[in-house]
Amino acid sequence: MTDFTKTRAMFHLPEGMIYLDGNSLGPLPRAAVDRVTKTVTDEWGEMLITGWNKAGWMDKPMNVGNRIARLIGAEPESVAMGDTLSIKVYQALASALEMNKPRKVILSDSGNFPSDLYMAQGLCRTLGDGYTLKIVAPEEVLDAIDETVAVTMITEVDYRTGRKHDMAAITKRAHDKGALTIWDLAHSAGAFPVELAKAGADFACGCTYKYLNSGPGGPAFIYVAPRHQAAARPALSGWQGHDAPFAFDLDYRPARGAERMRVGTPPILQLAALEASLNIWDSVDMAALRARSLALTDQFIKGVEATCPTLTLATPRDHALRGSQVSFRHPEGYAIMQALISKGVIGDFRAPDIIRFGFTPLYTSDADVAAAVDVLAEIMAKSLWDTPEFKTRKKVT
């Protein structure tokens, strides 16, 4: 059983702050400071370019990918690191569409993160020839999968409400109708156990700077099911995904397996920070993490609903439908969140009216939850949010 008091001590948590925004940016693992410093001074500083061989930099995208594979229920050698989540979404979409010709419909839902939708829209414009993105309500996804759909592109957990899709059911329906599946795990990886292989998922991708704590701009990952690895041709055919990068052939020849989804030079400093975080994750029991997450979110929902009657719960009560965040609605949600932040309770706001809180058992305690409820209750009871200062929108919400 994981001791979450011990994992909490492994993170730098600023004094006087209750941090409930790890679903947007995870805090700094204490060990990351030394790990990145070592990479900078001992490897980059002393080895310079020889670090690609001596320090094993070139192998990190697959080695680190194998460590993430455990957290998302993926097979060995099926996860590659690098680039950004949007790029990995584009790669997965392009490969899936090519594999499932002549179908031309990408199915997604209105709860998907907009960047995923933008990438799909851009790819459809590039391809032309009738390729389209179909968007339905989250509750309508299952029924919308028919014989016209080439691929479903679903974020497993809605970034606004925390609503969790049934990966197994949607994947089965898609396969029954001849469609492929892409799962965005941005709000899943590190939030609860993910079972890509068990569900039969075709592709998946995700970021690491949220629950996995790799730091701002940390690298993304892509999963390609082993059965597809020989057929999935990367549309972004970068030199790192070449079968022999240092042969410098003028023609592209994809590498074997998921490694073909590598594009550009790997971000070594960010991967070092991620490795420090994964050293913590290596000791975490995912079932225990899920149980603790549900207990924390239940505690928060109960406390807020008992003290803040004007806030409306947007997150499902049903555990099976809930990720690891809780969201409430209010017309003045932005100002309410700014008032909370001013008092040291850090969450965030998502338009048009969502105040959002992430619960990460590795460092969130029962006391954090109770204190956050008390602060929110005071703000709502006294309308402390109702000031011009808190209503003035900042660039990042």
DSSP conformation class of 45: I
Task: Give CATH for domain 4-29+285-391.
Answer: 3.90.1150.10
pLDDT the model gives residue 274: 98
pLDDT the model gives residue 156: 98
Task: Quote the tokens at residue 294.
Answer: 């549900």
pLDDT, average across residues 189-208: 98
| Model confidence, pTM | 0.96
pLDDT the model gives residue 143: 97
Q: How far is CA 333 from CA 216, 222, 373, 386, in A?
A: 25, 34, 16, 11
pLDDT, average across residues 337-363: 97
Q: State pLDDT tens for residues 72-89.
A: 999 999 999 999 999 999
By DSSP bridging, strand 354-358 and strand 79-81 are unpaired
Task: Quote the tokens at residue 113.
Answer: 């993160």
What is the percentage of the chain residues whose pLDDT exceeds 70? 100
So where are the chain's domains? 4-29+285-391, 56-281
Q: State pLDDT tens for residues 135-157.
A: 999 999 999 999 999 999 999 99
d(CA 65, CA 52): 18
The candidate with the shortest Cα–Cα distance to 265, out of 97, 60, 98, is 60
pLDDT the model gives residue 352: 95
Query: Three-state SS for 382?
Result: coil
By DSSP bridging, strand 105-109 and strand 132-136 are parallel
Contact 255, 82 (CB under 8 A): no
d(CA 173, CA 182): 13
pLDDT the model gives residue 343: 98
Q: Tell me which of 3.40.640.10, 1.20.58.220, 3.40.50.720, 3.40.1790.10 is the CATH number of domain 56-281.
A: 3.40.640.10
Q: Which residue has the tokens 């690895």?
A: 229
Contact 114, 260 (CB under 8 A): no
pLDDT, average across residues 125-131: 96
Backbone angles phi, psi at 277, to 5 degrees: -70, -40
pLDDT over 80 (residue 1):
no
pLDDT the model gives residue 150: 98
pLDDT the model gives residue 264: 93
Model confidence at 33, in pLDDT bands (50, 70, 90)?
Answer: very high
Model confidence at 330, in pLDDT bands (50, 70, 90)?
Answer: very high
- As annotated, the active-site residues are 113, 184, 209-210, 356
pLDDT, average across residues 202-206: 98
**Mean pLDDT score across all residues of the chain:** 97
Task: Quote the tokens at residue 41.
Answer: 């001074």
Q: How far is CA 78 from CA 144, 237, 382, in A?
A: 29, 18, 53
pLDDT the model gives residue 228: 98
Amino acid identity for residue 309 in this structure: P
Q: State pLDDT tens for residues 262-291.
A: 999 999 999 999 999 999 999 999 999 999
Q: How far is CA 41 from CA 217, 341, 366, in A?
A: 21, 36, 39
d(CA 32, CA 34): 6
